[in-house]
Amino acid sequence: MSEPRPLFPADPKATYLAHAGAINAAIARVLAGGHYILGPEVEAFEREWAAYLGDGYAVGVANGTEALELALRAVGVAAGDRVATVANTVSATAAAIQQIGAEPVFVEIDVTTMTMSPGALAEVLTNVQPIKAVLPVHLYGRPAAMPEIMELARAHGAKVVEDCAQAHGAKIGDQRAGTWGDAAAFSFYPTKNLGALGDGGAVFATDATVADRVRSLRQYGWKPRYVSVAPGRNSRLDELQAAILRVKLPSLDAENAVRASHARRYLQRLAGGPWQLPPADERAKSVWHQFALRSPRRHAMLTHLAAHDIHAGVLYPVPLHHQPAYACEQKLPVTEQACAEVLCLPVHPGLTLADIDRGCDELLRWAEA
Ligand SMILES: *Cc1c(COP(=O)(O)O)cnc(C)c1O
């Protein structure tokens, strides 16, 4: 029998190879077309991505961090404003807020879903006046409690921007993540559920005025061309990435379904073990960007898995309020415990159910030892 292959948290090369013929053809088409930045491929992708999400407008930008920054600015966040977000996320979420000169205020998470707690948000909105915008993160592919968050934000006059960098295609009920707030930011970093072969991002907004502002901000604040109406930046999406994303978009739902089937297998086989499993889909339908287990014995589990060439990830080991760049006095015990306990098992669509079973076998063996 051959050695089992190593399993990783993500495999962007496998995703490329699954679409190699069509991607190579798309790249050749762009190269021959002579348009390399903000051309017909970007426009077509923006239409297709918006149609996939729901009623509204998509604007391609250079990456997910700038999508967050421009979305926040487009809904009115400016220097000195406070933005309520969570601390168990990638640094990019807070970096986008700080880029504007605004200040992140961290909100405690729900112990089960590990996304923003509506109860904690209510307290922050009441006690930390004024909060200009709320920035929930749909972590690991699971949408945050958007109906409750929207109601609270509306009641306090705060705007809402969704961080959808891990939630391409996720839903609450029948409505996609990204269509609940005043704007949403997506990343197309190669390891995301919809990934380019380089950097890319997009803002989605149901309001044409918000989308227009992003369109202006992504290119020097121009409106019309050659006249800057706001201090913009350069955050353009290029034609090659847009063409690649157009090849991959039609497979997003099928790839998310493979992730969901992997997740169901983990949930079935690992039930009752000495760890805490992520909640199964209910109202919120995850697209399983990560399958996040929790255990105070994370380190021993990681070591055992790695010895069998199964490489789990730790997303994210240090909450933002404990990182030098964002350090603050806030106490967030639920967040801190989640960051200390979480480990993410490989769940991407390049894996087979046999790979998932191998992960389950090893974890169960570790638990019995
Ligand atoms: C990936 C990610 C981002 C940043 O996206 P980039 O394209 O890397 O700038 C922001 N927020 C979350 C939750 C992410 O996972």
Nearest atom (ligand 1) to Cα of 63: 7
Q: What percent of the chain has pLDDT over 90?
A: 96
At 90, the pLDDT band (50, 70, 90 cuts) reads very high
pLDDT tens for each residue of 153-210: 999 999 999 999 999 999 999 999 999 999 999 999 999 999 999 999 999 999 999 9
pLDDT band at 16 (very low <50, low <70, confident <90, very high): very high
Instruction: Give dist(CA 292, CA 272) in Å, integer.
Output: 16
Nearest Cα neighbor of 9 from 350, 282, 365 is 350
Spacing, Cα 68 to ligand 1 middle (Å): 9
H-helix or E-strand spanning residue 263: helix 252-269
- Expressed in angstroms, the distance from the first to the final Cα of the chain is 25
Query: Using an 8 Å Cβ cutoff, are 124 and 105 in contact?
Result: yes
Distance 266 CA to ligand 1 centre (A): 26
- The overall average pLDDT reported for the chain is 97
291 lines ligand 1 (CB under 6 A): no
φ and ψ of 172, to 5 deg: -120, 120
Range with the lowest mean pLDDT among 133-137, 278-282, 359-363?
A: 278-282
351/98 Cα distance (integer angstroms): 37
Torsion, Cα 86 89 95 101, to 10 degrees, reads: 0
How far does residue 96's CA lie from ligand 1's centre (Å)?
A: 10
Q: Which of 166, 192, 315 to mutate to test the pocket of ligand 1 (most atoms within 8 A of CB)?
A: 166
Three-class secondary structure of residue 133 per DSSP: strand
Query: Ligand 1 in contact with 330 (CB < 6 A)?
Result: no
| Distance between Cα 188 and ligand 1 center (Å) | 8
Cα 210 to Cα 63: distance, rounded to the nearest angstrom: 18
Exposure pattern of 40-53 as b/e (b: 16+ CB <10 Å)? ebbeebbebbbebb
Check: CB of residue 346 under 8 Å from CB of residue 310.
yes
Q: Which of 99, 189, 241 to mutate to test the pocket of ligand 1 (most atoms within 8 A of CB)?
A: 189
285 and 143 in contact (C-beta within 8 Å)?
yes
Place of tokens 């639920």: 334
- On the question of a cis peptide bond just before residue 40, with omega within 30 degrees of 0, the verdict is no
Residues paired with 205 in a beta bridge: 57
**pLDDT tens digits along 292-350:** 999 999 999 999 999 999 999 999 999 999 999 999 889 999 999 999 999 999 999 99
DSSP string, 296-324: TTHHHHHHHHHHTTB--B-S-SS-GGGSG
What whole-number distance in Å separates Cα of residue 46 and Cα of residue 243? 11
Tell me what the mean pLDDT of segment 74-79 comes to: 98
Please indicate whether residue 90, judged by its CB atom, sits closer than 6 Å to ligand 1.
Answer: yes
Ligand 1: nearest atom to the Cα of 89: 13
Do 291 and 260 contact (CB within 8 A), yes or no?
no
How far is the C-alpha of 144 from the C-alpha of 326, rounded, in Å?
Answer: 23
* pTM of the predicted structure, to 2 decimals: 0.98
| 263 CA to centre of ligand 1 in angstroms | 22
What is the residue with the minimal CA distance to atom 5 of ligand 1? 64
